[in-house]
């Protein structure tokens, strides 16, 4: 590891992430469980620190703390909640260097990405929902009987937030910020591989003035997540993760009729039409599949290119992709870091092997990069696969791009919609009418035109088909954290 890397590692081995402690009721508590879990630096394969493996008693304590804090937080005026959430955004920016350090060493994310995307976005999420906290309003309704009728939007209660390993800071903030804005309290279970920013954010939320018990953090593996899904004291589940686990989570939550929002897997297509600006299109294509080392549910791992451009695009990609800086995430020049865990690296290798068996041609990449014991895989472009290959149809979740050709607009849309997923999609064209026409036909929660991963807290995203249901971001992202009550007063 570089000297800068050593400095980042030292930044996360601090008392606020002391092994064995959980954040419950506004306090750092030693977990009742004696279980511990190692947290590994994916750039070296070495252990950074350990965290608690929470058990049922720990989870009960966290839910009790959230329930105890709920009434007071729910009755806190929206303007007061707004000020506190805005202060959270301020403290995130003040402690930017710490958050960058934690996110990069925990996830293997390049520091430039952690700073410009993850930390910046988390601050913007709290800032955006601080504004909406002041406008959680109902409406009056005109009815024919002599009465005064109106609706109220009220918080649900205790929200169980279960978040994934790839964007731990962003995807926890996208749940906690609207939940708090609406007046709910939260028990957060971060991913077992990447829990460190959740622990640091607990400290930041407290510093910003979030009252004790309003946000609680329990660390651990799948058993803790399942217990949170089943807990009778939890009123709603907000989940981001794989489609496989999401189906299990929805089934468990349904047993107690908990409302659930699910942001699940994706396998988006990037369509490059014959009239596209090729320089811009190539940049969008590369960003779409190497962003966050391909560990991005809204990534674009399937390239559909017009047949007239197919060979030209492959030639450009063979040179350009091999030149994308890959290596030490603590080097500011790095664009692609390691995979977050060894099992994710092995999963990518499995799919590339499947592609080879199915007749795929490796245009570039296709193998590990041996570097300092880390979990590195070279960005890979594969051509010549049939559409029914598992390497095309299934979510690889790594820096792998498959390339297919098409002849007509209808064929492009059919190929784009041919998988079980529907989280994101995109196209490159200079024809404005085509952009609108194709966007309307793509089965996805968000469609990007002439670029990739254009995200903002004001613009909702979410899945269709096997990519889940519910929306995050925008006013639409606040609604799942509220319930509507109608009040009708007789005037007779």
Domains of the chain and any CATH numbers: 3-264+468-486 (3.40.605.10), 269-456 (3.40.309.10)
Residue 33 exposure: Cα atoms within 13 Å on the Cβ side? 24
Tokens (6 digits) for 138: 């109902």
427 and 447 in contact (C-beta within 8 Å)? yes
Provide the pLDDT for residue 56: 95
Q: Which residue is associated with the tokens 């799919």?
A: 351
pLDDT tier at 174 (50, 70, 90 boundaries)? very high
Per DSSP, the three-state class of 14 is coil
Tokens (6 digits) for 225: 């997540």
pLDDT tier at 187 (50, 70, 90 boundaries)? very high
Answer whether residue 13 shows pLDDT above 70: no
Q: How far apart are the first and last CA of the chain?
A: 77
Tokens (6 digits) for 208: 């910003």
The CB density around residue 483, as the number of other CB atoms within 10 Å, is 16
Answer whether residue 12 shows pLDDT above 60: no
Average pLDDT value over all residues in the chain? 95
Concerning whether 280 is annotated as a catalytic residue, the answer is no
Of the residues 53, 103, 125, 175, only one is catalytic, namely 175
Task: Kindly report, residue by residue over 124-150, the tens digit of the pLDDT.
Answer: 999 999 999 999 999 999 999 999 999
**170-189 CB burial, b ≥16 within 10 A, e <16:** bbbbbbbbbbbbbbbbbbbb
What is the spatial distance between Cα 167 and Cα 114, in angstroms, rounded to a whole number?
A: 9
Q: Locate all alpha helices (DSSP H) within 117-167, ordered by sequence.
A: 120-132
Provide the pLDDT for residue 1: 43
- How many residues are given for the chain? 492
pLDDT tier at 8 (50, 70, 90 boundaries)? low
pLDDT tier at 19 (50, 70, 90 boundaries)? confident
Smallest Cα–Cα separation from 65: which of 211, 193, 282? 211
Concerning whether 315 is annotated as a catalytic residue, the answer is no
Q: Which residues pair with 486 in a beta bridge?
A: 151
Task: Kindly report, residue by residue over 30-52, the tens digit of the pLDDT.
Answer: 998 889 999 999 999 999 999 99
pLDDT tier at 2 (50, 70, 90 boundaries)? very low
Tokens (6 digits) for 276: 């596209």
Smallest Cα–Cα separation from 437: which of 413, 420, 455? 413
Provide the pLDDT for residue 259: 96
468 and 444 in contact (C-beta within 8 Å)? no
166 and 340 in contact (C-beta within 8 Å)? yes
Of the residues 263, 395, 409, 479, only one is catalytic, namely 263
Tokens (6 digits) for 278: 């090729």
Concerning whether 263 is annotated as a catalytic residue, the answer is yes
Answer whether residue 477 shows pLDDT above 60: yes
**Which whole number is the average pLDDT over 56-82?**
98
Answer whether residue 67 shows pLDDT above 60: yes
What is the spatial distance between Cα 471 and Cα 478, in angstroms, rounded to a whole number?
A: 9
Conformational region of residue 71, where left means phi above 0, alpha means psi within -120 to 50, and beta covers everything else: alpha
Provide the pLDDT for residue 4: 45
Task: Kindly report, residue by residue over 255-283, the tens digit of the pLDDT.
Answer: 999 999 999 999 999 999 999 999 999 99
Provide the pLDDT for residue 20: 85
Tokens (6 digits) for 450: 């002439």
pLDDT tier at 9 (50, 70, 90 boundaries)? low
Task: Kindly report, residue by residue over 215-254, the tens digit of the pLDDT.
Answer: 999 999 999 999 999 999 999 999 999 999 999 999 999 9
Answer whether residue 58 shows pLDDT above 60: yes
293 and 399 in contact (C-beta within 8 Å)? yes
Q: What is the DSSP string of 203-222?
A: HHHHHHTPPTTSEEE---SH
Answer whether residue 377 shows pLDDT above 70: yes
Q: Which residue is associated with the tokens 């890959």?
A: 326
Of the residues 189, 297, 395, 409, only one is catalytic, namely 297
Concerning whether 428 is annotated as a catalytic residue, the answer is no
What is the pTM assigned to this prediction? 0.95
Of the residues 127, 395, 409, 472, only one is catalytic, namely 472
């Amino acid at each position: 590891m570089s000297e800068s890397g050593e400095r980042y590692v030292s930044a996360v081995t601090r008392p606020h992430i002391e092994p064995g402690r959980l954040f419950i009721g506004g306090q750092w508590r030693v977990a009742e469980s004696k279980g511990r879990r190692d947290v590994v630096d994916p750039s070296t394969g070495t252990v950074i620190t350990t965290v608690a493996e929470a058990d049922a008693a720990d989870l009960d304590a966290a839910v009790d703390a959230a329930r105890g804090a709920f009434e007071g937080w729910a009755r806190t005026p929206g303007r007061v909640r707004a000020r506190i959430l805005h202060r959270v955004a301020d403290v995130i920016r003040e402690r930017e260097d710490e958050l960058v350090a934690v996110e990069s060493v925990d996830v293997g994310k390049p520091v430039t990405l952690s700073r410009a995307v993850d930390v910046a976005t988390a601050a913007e999420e709290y800032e955006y929902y601080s504004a909406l906290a002041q406008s959680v309003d109902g409406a009056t309704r005109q009815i024919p009987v002599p009465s005064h009728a109106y609706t109220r939007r009220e918080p649900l209660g205790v929200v169980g937030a279960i978040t994934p390993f790839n964007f731990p800071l962003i995807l926890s903030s996208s749940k906690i910020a609207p939940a708090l804005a609406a007046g709910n309290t939260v028990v957060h279970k971060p991913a077992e591989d990447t829990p460190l920013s959740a622990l640091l954010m607990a400290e930041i939320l407290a510093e910003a003035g979030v009252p004790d018990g309003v946000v609680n953090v329990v660390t651990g593996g799948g058993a803790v997540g399942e217990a949170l899904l089943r807990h009778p004291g939890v009123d709603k589940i907000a989940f981001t993760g794989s489609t496989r686990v999401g189906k299990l989570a929805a089934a468990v939550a349904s047993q107690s009729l908990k409302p659930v929002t699910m942001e699940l897997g994706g396998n988006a297509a990037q369509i490059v039409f014959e009239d596209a600006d090729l320089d811009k299109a190539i940049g969008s294509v590369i960003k779409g599949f190497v962003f966050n080392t391909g560990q991005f549910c809204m990534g674009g791992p399937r390239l559909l290119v017009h047949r007239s451009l197919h060979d030209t695009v492959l030639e450009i990609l063979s040179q350009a992709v091999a030149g994308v800086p890959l290596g030490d995430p603590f080097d500011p020049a790095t664009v692609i870091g390691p995979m977050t865990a060894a099992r994710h690296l092995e999963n990518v290798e499995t799919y590339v092997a499947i592609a080879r068996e199915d007749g795929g041609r490796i245009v570039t990449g296709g193998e590990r990069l041996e570097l300092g014991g880390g979990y590195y895989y070279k960005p890979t472009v594969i051509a010549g696969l049939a559409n029914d290959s598992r390497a095309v149809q299934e979510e690889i979740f790594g820096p792998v791009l498959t390339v297919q050709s098409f002849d007509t607009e209808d064929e492009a849309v059919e190929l784009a919609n041919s998988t079980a997923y529907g989280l994101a999609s995109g196209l490159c064209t200079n024809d404005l009418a085509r952009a609108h026409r194709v966007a309307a036909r793509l089965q996805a929660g968000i469609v990007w035109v002439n670029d990739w991963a254009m995200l903002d807290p004001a613009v909702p995203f979410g899945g269709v088909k096997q990519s889940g249901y519910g929306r995050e971001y925008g006013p639409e992202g606040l609604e799942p954290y509220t319930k509507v009550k109608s009040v009708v007063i007789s005037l007779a």
